[in-house]
Amino acid sequence: MELQEIVPLVIYDNQCYLCVKFAKFVNFLARGRLRIIGHYTEIGKKIREEVLDSSALEMFWFVDGKTAYGGRAGLFPLLSAIIRANGSVGDLSIQESCDLSCKNTKAVFLRSASLLTNSKKIKIK
């Protein structure tokens, strides 16, 4: 699958409780009009290898076709895409696989803090 065919998209950590909740919230706001892909899915792994860098797993990513925005840098473009999104991406199920250790207070605090501290932009070739 060509990247330009599936953008705009959100890539999230589908093995993290808080990240799954974030992805479900984004999907709710976008009313299913954005593609949402887990880091650990086959498509997510392929995008990480071809487009993103070694910091990919540290944050969520919003990809618009020209740029991949990670963490804090992706919040405004994501909000803009939610407002402008039209059409439907079809049947979407948000994948989640989390053990109990990711639901504790410390894990939630660390993941929330990483959203504000991590920020990155990568130009797509």
Domain of residue 105 covers 3-123
Reading the chain (125 residues) residue by residue, the pLDDT tens digits are 577 778 789 999 888 888 888 899 999 999 888 999 999 999 999 998 888 888 888 889 999 989 999 999 999 999 999 998 776 665 556 655 655 566 677 777 777 777 778 889 989 87
* Whole-angstrom distance, CA of residue 94 vs CA of residue 41: 11
**pLDDT value of position 14:** 87
Q: Is the dihedral of CA 75, 81, 84, 86 positive or negative?
A: negative
If we measure between CA atoms, which residue out of 21, 7, 10 comes closest to residue 102?
A: 21
pLDDT of residue 101: 63
Cα separation, 73 vs 116, in Å, equals 9
pLDDT at 1: 58
For the sheet with 67-71, list strands across it. 35-38, 9-12, 61-63, 67-71, 119-123
Query: How many structural domains is the chain composed of?
Result: 1
